[in-house]
Homo-oligomer: A and B are copies of this chain.
Amino acid sequence: MKEQLNIIKVGGPVVEDEDSLQSLLMSFSSLRGLKILVHGGGKIATALAEKLGVETRMIDGRRITSAEMLKVVTMVYGGLVNKDVVARLQALGVNAIGLTGADMNIIMSVKRPVELVNFGFVGDIKYVNVQALKSLLDAGAVPVLAPLTHDKEGNMLNTNADTIASAAAQALTPLYDVTLTFTSSMPGVLSDVNDPDSVIPTIAKADFESLVSSGTVSAGMIPKLQNAFNAIDAGVRRVIITSASQLGSGTTIQADPETDD
């Protein structure tokens, strides 16, 4: 039986709020076994960019990354946020190690080709270095991944944190029994969006369409669920959507209905 590995993606809103970050890190520190944390930090980058007079442009929620913006996100994601998270986890007894895709060539990407939009220095993932991640996990380290990759030609590239979490989960699935968790402002997928106690415990692929067509799943949750099923289709055993302070609970997304295997 493969060893269990938890990959937790925590988004900007959690990272950017002192209390919710500490709550997430305490919850993360209490998870047993192998684990990886993937973080965002977009709003901090936007705030720094503004102070430096670097214009923030977003298209469909994705950041256009100019050469100057690449410096900003490298400083914020790879420096400020990543090291803050690592230092706090170390204080909580977690042997964290902060990494970008460049470190040990963990994640290699190629600059996104210019089509309708020129996203600038944004990297599409080509390769996850499973052996390097395994060597760190074997050494007892807990990787903390910033949403940055590199092109193996000397350049850092900006890569979405959800995409990094999904790609790492998919790549590590042959070696580990991977659970991929996306944190949300909600405690999970709710059957009644106004009732936080109405968390749907499990959603199988067969349920997804009917939940959407019946309007049970709200518009904002649909891309999250689609993202989850993409990871499932790529072999990840289960994806959990939960709040940052309640890791281990929430909604479990699976390929097939829950069984007792």
Contacts and interface: CB of A to CB of B under 8 A. Distances in A.
Contacts of A198: none
A-side interface mostly: helix
B139 A83 contact: no
Interface string A78-97: 11101110111011000111
Copies, count? 2
B83 A80 contact: no
Interface residues of A, number: 41
B83 A78 contact: yes
B80 A74 contact: yes
Contacts of A237: none
Contacts of A141: 104, 132
A103 interface: yes
Nearest to A98: B103
Which of A82, A87, A132, A153 has the most chain B CB atoms inside 10 A of its CB? A87
A80 B75 contact: yes
A258 to B, nearest CB: 38
Contacts of A96: 102-104
A214 interface: no
A83 B100 contact: yes
Contact of A87 (B51, B71, B155): B155
9 contacts: A74-B79, A75-B79, A75-B80, A76-B79, A87-B102, A87-B155, A88-B154, A98-B100, A104-B139
Given A79-B82, A104-B139, 9 more contacts: A48-B75, A71-B80, A78-B79, A78-B82, A84-B156, A87-B155, A90-B152, A97-B103, A136-B139
